[in-house]
Amino acid sequence: MNIQKVSFSNKAEEQLAGRLELPLDQKPHNFVIFAHCFTCTKNLTAVRNIGRALTDAGFGVLRFDFTGLGESEGDFENTNFSGNVDDLVEAADFLAENYMAPTLLIGHSLGGAAAIFAASKIQSIKAVAVINSPSNPLHVMHLLKDSTDEINKNGKAKVNLGGIDFTIRKQFLDDLENKPLIDVVSSFGKALLILHSPQDTMVGIKNAEEIYKAAKHPKSFVSLDGADHLLTKKEDSHYAGQVIAGWASHYVDIEPPEEIKSKSKVAASLNSDDKFSTTLKLGDHHLIADEPTNYGGNNWSLAL
């Protein structure tokens, strides 16, 4: 896997930081955009594992931080759900102008809802996959339940989510109330894959049922049995990535791979974010080299 640092502007001309992951030995046949979960970042382990499974299948994957999160510029407290959708549209424009227009959108949790809204605005998107996503953006309100009164009274409140303090403004809540996801998914005209864990305690499986019932064919559902909301076990996120890659290949155009010419018979990709984890290609064989966690590695032992 070849990983490149990229950046592009949002509507406010603030720079959004991303990582573009490309197959190690061929040019991508399609490009994917990944929308991370509420207050997460592009570097969530599950996001990276899913991206790795897709690049193994020949896709190019763009993962980036929404405005005000991670390495991206902007102030999170001034953002809203609509802003996340706009960021995805800008990401699609960036790929179209510099690489190839994206054909697949993937969203995790609230990022899945944003992906559905964005897909309706991006003509090149042919397929959308959502992972443990709510059927209504307002579902995020349960994360803020202890602070909603203060937000409504004072216009904003500081909320601790996952050990990090975020300031949430009332305009964020107001924006969520005006986003009828079910109406959008019933008419957006894209192939849809819904992946959801029956054991998800943050976004219940009922949400997947509601999205599925509202959507028109082609639509598919895959159970992520045993997984938690964030797909913290690497086998769960890798499985999700493999399923998405296989499913999407039915809905996007895939030309025979154009291999990257190289005199070397050994190719390797090493990214600082992955510590000692290294994707290697030796002739026609793929594997991952790593070190144990007590030496600072990820202890990956996956043969590709």
**Read out DSSP for 203-219?**
S-THHHHHHHHHSPSSE
Read off the pLDDT band of 169 (50, 70, 90).
Answer: confident
* First vs last C-alpha separation in the chain: 11
- pLDDT value for 279: 59
Last residue of a domain, one of 220, 243, 258: 258
DSSP for the chain, written as a single string: -EEEEEEEE-TTSPEEEEEEEE-SSB--SEEEEEEPPTT--TT-HHHHHHHHHHHHTTEEEEEEPPTTSTT--S-GGG--HHHHHHHHHHHHHHHHHHS----EEEEETHHHHHHHHHHTT-TT--EEEEES--SSGGGGGGGGTTTHHHHHHHSEEEEEETTEEEEEEHHHHHHHHT--HHHHHTTS-SEEEEEE-TT-SSS-THHHHHHHHHSPSSEEEEE-TT--TT--SHHHHHHHHHHHHHHHTTTS--PPP-BPP-S-SEEEEE-GGGTT-EEEEETTEEEEE---GGGTS-----B-
If asked whether residues 288 and 300 sit together in one domain, one would say: yes
| 278 pLDDT higher than 70 | no
Q: Is the domain of 282 the same as that of 251?
A: no
Same-domain pairing of 122 and 188: yes
CA atoms within 13 Å, Cβ hemisphere of 88: 33
Q: Give the model's confidence band at 54: pLDDT under 50 very low, under 70 low, under 90 confident, else very high.
A: very high
Tell me if 147 is assigned to some domain: no
Same-domain check for residues 200 and 284: no
Asked if pLDDT for residue 117 goes beyond 90, the answer is yes
Q: Do 10 and 48 share a domain, yes or no?
A: yes
Q: Give me 212's structure tokens.
A: 């599925």
User: Which of 243, 258, 273 finishes a domain?
Assistant: 258
129 and 92, same structural domain?
yes
Are 196 and 289 within one domain? no
One domain, residues 268 and 127: no
Residue 169 lies in a domain: no
Which of 45-59, 89-103, 171-185, 215-229 shows the lowest per-residue confidence on average (mean pLDDT)? 171-185
Q: From CA 65, how far away is CA 73, in angstroms rounded?
A: 9
pLDDT of 282 > 90? The answer is: no
As a whole number of angstroms, the distance between CA 42 and CA 63 comes to: 5
> What pLDDT was estimated at residue 123?
96
CATH number, domain of 37, equals 3.40.50.1820
Place of tokens 């043969």: 303
Q: Which amino acid is at 137?
A: P
Same domain, 246 and 103: yes
Containing structural domain, residue 209: 2-139+180-258
What share of the chain in percent tops pLDDT 90? 61
154 found inside a domain: no
Higher pLDDT, 224 or 259: 224
Q: Are residues 216 and 287 in the same domain?
A: no
Among residues 222, 237, 258, the one where a domain terminates is 258
Say yes or no: 126 and 189 in one domain: yes
Residue 285 burial (CB count, 10 A) = 9
In a domain, 162, yes or no: no
**Predicted local confidence at residue 274, as pLDDT:** 60
Tokens of 206: 């009922």
- Domain assignment of residue 151, yes or no: no
Task: Count up the domains in the chain and report the number.
Answer: 2
Evaluate whether residue 287 is within a structural domain.
yes
Nearest alpha-carbon partner for 240 in 105, 129, 114 = 129
Give domain status of residue 302, yes or no.
Answer: yes
Q: How far apart are CA 196 and CA 74, in angstroms?
A: 31
pTM for this predicted structure: 0.83
pLDDT band at 143 (very low <50, low <70, confident <90, very high): low
Reported as a single tens digit per residue, the pLDDT across 188-235 is: 899 999 999 999 998 999 999 999 999 999 999 999 999 999 999 999
On whether residue 157 sits in a domain, the answer given is no
Beta carbons of 211 and 186 less than 8 angstroms apart: no
Q: Do 196 and 231 have their domain in common?
A: yes
According to DSSP, residue 303 is labeled B
